[in-house]
Chains A and B, each alone.
Chain A
């Protein structure tokens, strides 16, 4: 009897404890998420998205092609953009929600305290209020109703379709999508491309090093002769005059390197750059111009781009957009094709103040109060955090420790870029594109366009401020005295609507039309800017290679074909290697490194995955930078983000004063680097470049099964076929378009963001090896039908 009672007691205890524990966190989270028949993580594994769908905007149909790219047809534009919202809600809902949470500063509400620093930063900048001002700007334009239809489509998919695996993994449900969220996507990409703390980093360098070092290691201009707009393009460039390159005036006070390092975490990683080029029809086999574009952005699973083809009747447009944005950003329509690279223009400034107590500051002779508000950050499984956010007349305050620095950025006002991008799809030639681009307020980009009529166009998008101190234009390359009113922007209203009155007029920005060949690779835009455009540009390595190859193609006897453009996008020639390798072998001659360095004999400087020389160059390059900079910069409390650009490293001459400062010759530094490289090669067991240069593209959660398979890849940060393993970053979309022919393109992964979709990673292998797909309409029966006549 006692034994029976004991048995019952044990059974009851086990049952009660088991069920009870299951109802408590964290076990309940796992059970809710992963239980096989009910777990939210498996919703898309058990039940695939399906239709038909009742649409408030009319009939539409979605047909996915063999790579999961939707071709969407409909009664009119609104019916199509409703369907676009629906397929974005089906294919990329988690990515969209993650992006908006990042920009709104609400990541911690679902991910816990590990994302608090990000939430603090994004709330301090207040991208959300900027997005609200942007929607105020856009809502009543021609694009507004289409954004509203899109938003409704996203929300109907969110309500009706099973949710992606990530919502089950983290155990939350996505909230309502809004037009402001769509505007936040513009803010996100604009911040990534133009939100730079370079000015603060340079101020920290100026505080740490003497002027001669700063001038040698951080020149305002890289010494190459391949700007985007070259002399032969200049016929349409208005009234160019050589601008003085004044060295920046002294900063008011040293910038705290630790603060800069913290802020720098919210910039995009190194490697955000791009390639694009135009070939005029007189040089092509078809007689029509050619356009190629491959934007280099952070690589992730799923990709940052979503490919779509839209046919609302009056036009057809095919290309890529950002999930959360209805309109094709890079692509082609019936009349032409367009693409972008980052212009590198300076659209951000920093201001320091004389403060009076904690909440007041001096401004042009007055004492003003900072605008303050309290933000509450919700934290999953933790206590909410409150923070005070302050704002000056110039913009949000970044720091409140020993210094008070505010930031002005063109993205913090109402912008009309959405209208421009919408109009691109409807454009009917180069004049329409130019007209639409006037509304392209952010980000600053190099726009290339080629039409089926034979026109080509290069121009710079985005509003660029003319900063003025005491009425005179000044460059934006230092921290301004905000209390004195230095470096101010006329016509700019943070978080409101700007007149842009004091900005560079659209027609005074660099432009070229009807080019023979023109290449952009984030290099200096022009040698003779009429206005100050940028504090600096990317290394010129890709630009030099692109210029060389485009001119060689132009000057040969045979006409240029799309195949030659695709071949150029696969180019892995590394100009850094061409400049450094000739110094390596003399430096190690007569040492026991000579035989190791013999791998460079006859090397063509191509960073192929199966190359031994490419491996050794990559190892020496990394070790050479460390030998040059690690010790001296660490001694100045500057991390590696402050190290000089690769251009400087590759071109630093043997008689540079930096070597005097180090107390070693360039040859000695190279020998050290070779010794380090040999050790690393041996210890890691590397045999070829592909052992080191591995494409490792992860999901934001870092879970292996959600990422793409790790594979050897060719290319480097300095090659046209671009891959930065630190990041990672690289070609986020490759596209070659003959405006009157079939375009080719490829995504680094798959078009579907749903792990259970067969198109989650089906383009990854093609992208990795430089292959393409034809951008053609999907055939067959629709996969999703939208019915607009349900009330009849």
Chain B
């Protein structure tokens, strides 16, 4: 599997960057539909990583991007202060992507 187009992307930083951004955007879209989308986003980005360790780190990065997207949405509609004041639920909301996205990125280790 890694001998084909995937290896080409992994080996070319420029293409890899574009691919990561593309699958990240797609992954955020999936994550907006269902929490499994966060796992899928982590998997999609992780599989582009050159190593399992990098995949896990990128998975954390995907989680951070998803949290940031969520907070930016709240800023846009004027609810950020209430979101940040939401006690345990906001902690859960932050933890979910930071766990689920690296979990998805583990697909890199299946190769």
Contacts and interface: CB of A to CB of B under 8 A. Distances in A.
Interface size class of A (residues with CB under 8 A): 35 or more
A50 to B, nearest CB: 10
Interface in B1-57: 28, 31-39, 52
A30 B92 CA distance: 8
Contacts, number: 113
A11 B96 contact: no
A36 B96 contact: yes
Interface stretch (A39-47, A84-92, A125-133, A672-680): A39-47
A38 B34 contact: yes
Contact of A34 (B52, B77, B89, B106): B89
B82 A34 contact: no
Contact of B35 (A14, A32, A165): A32
A44 B79 contact: yes
Contacts of A45: 73-74, 77, 79, 82-83
Interface of B, secondary structure class, is helix
Contacts of A30: 92, 96
A42 B70 contact: yes
B29 to A, nearest CB: 9
A676 to B, nearest CB: 36
Contacts of B92: 30, 34
Contacts of B103: 14-15, 18-19
Contacts of B97: 35-36
A756 B90 CA distance: 13
A705 B67 contact: no
Given A8-B109, A15-B103, A36-B93, A705 B79 contact: no
Given A14-B106, A15-B103, A37-B69, A31 B96 contact: yes
A12 interface: yes
A19 B31 contact: no
Contacts of B60: none
A42 B106 contact: no
Contacts of A703: 87-88
The residue in A8, A19, A22, A704 that gathers the most chain B C-beta atoms within 10 A of its C-beta is A22
Contacts of A41: 89
A544 B73 CA distance: 55
B83 A37 contact: no
16 contacts: A11-B110, A15-B103, A18-B100, A19-B36, A35-B31, A35-B35, A35-B38, A35-B93, A37-B66, A38-B34, A39-B93, A41-B89, A47-B77, A48-B77, A703-B87, A705-B89
Given A35-B34, A36-B93, 15 more contacts: A7-B109, A11-B107, A19-B36, A33-B89, A34-B89, A34-B93, A36-B31, A37-B31, A38-B32, A38-B33, A38-B37, A45-B82, A45-B83, A46-B74, A705-B86
Interface of A: 7-8, 10-12, 14-15, 18-19, 22, 30-39, 41-42, 44-48, 165, 169, 703-705, 755-756, 758, 760
